[in-house]
Amino acid sequence: MSIIQSQYSSKLTNYSQLICLYAVCDTKALFQAIEIRVSADGNYTIRSNSSFNTEVFLYHDSFDPNYWYINLLLYDYGHLDDPNFQFNYMLNSSHKYIVVIAKYVPLTIGSFVIIGSGPGTTNFTFFNTSSKIKRKVVMKMNIYSCVLLDVQNNNMVHSFYSSALVSGGPVYCRLTPCNNGTNYYYETIGLNVSVSGLYYIACNSTFDSYGYLWTSSYTTYLGYDDDGAGNSQFLLKFYLNSTIEYWLVVTTYSALRTGNFSIVTTGPEPITYIF
């Protein structure tokens, strides 16, 4: 299958819109929203080419800067050694997506390029949010979004991780007898906790998710959840100790299901994901 590449060029300036991502709005971020539509269903890579470090958010269907935590699919950010972001996501040609590029002020003014590649054409257009700021919000809200809202209201810290369960990936057998009909795709993610405290681990995915929490090396099984976050998504709530390494297992309720997922962990300090 041939890969089609498309791109969008723009820049953030001192005249760009501002967004507040935290409860205490002493620091705001400049941002630009870009609508994405694809001509064919499939897995797409969205990446940037810029001279400055950015944060990027991907939304489904709609985006309102006053309610940035609603409709959020995934989050990524550039690093000191590479200011650019890159993520892979399964996009549907009948749906609309919005990618938001944000940069905290003060900002060294600079241009950026967003590059989309996949089985079809990626169409980028500027998404005007100014007409949406004061409208009544009618958008999908789940516990994943509520956890983000709780973080914002209580000054808790959120840490994001995004990935996908894919065909041909690792599988395990949940039920006996084990055969091809009882295998489940999964991913194991390490959680490195810097400060002990109460943490929420919520999933947002394109499939009916199932989550397990273990201590390191699978020596102690702590628990699991299926639908605690609503909309067939799991939500784990545990007191995590900074001296212990934890492992989160993300899998599916039904056998041999694939799809994208995002994890948001909230607590007193950021969590480092090990993968």
139-197 pLDDT, tens digit each: 333 445 555 545 444 556 778 888 899 998 999 887 656 665 678 999 999 999 998 88
203-255 pLDDT, tens digit each: 988 899 999 998 876 667 888 888 877 778 898 888 888 888 899 999 999 88
38-78 pLDDT, tens digit each: 999 988 989 888 877 777 888 888 888 877 767 777 777 65
CA dihedral (86, 91, 97, 98) in degrees, to 10, reads: 0
User: Tell me, what's the pLDDT at 99?
Assistant: 93
Query: What values do phi and psi take at 63, rounded to 5?
Result: -145, 130
E strand spans, the chain: 4-12, 17-19, 29-38, 42-50, 55-60, 72-77, 86-91, 97-104, 110-118, 122-126, 157-165, 171-173, 183-193, 197-205, 209-215, 221-225, 235-240, 245-252, 259-267, 271-274
4-138 against 144-274: fold identical: yes
* 76 close to 85: Cβ distance less than 8 angstroms: yes
User: Tell me, what's the pLDDT at 79?
Assistant: 55
Per-domain residue ranges of the chain = 4-138, 144-274
User: Tell me, what's the pLDDT at 105?
Assistant: 57
22-32 pLDDT, tens digit each: 544 556 778 89
Q: How confident is the model at residue 109 (pLDDT cuts 50, 70, 90)?
A: low
Indicate whether 134 pLDDT > 70. no
How far apart (Å, rounded) are the C-alpha atoms in residues 124 and 12? Answer: 16
Pick one of 3.20.20.70, 1.10.10.60, 1.10.260.40, 2.60.120.380 as the CATH number of 144-274: 2.60.120.380
* Fold type of domain 4-138: Jelly Rolls (2.60.120)
Summary mean pLDDT of the chain = 79
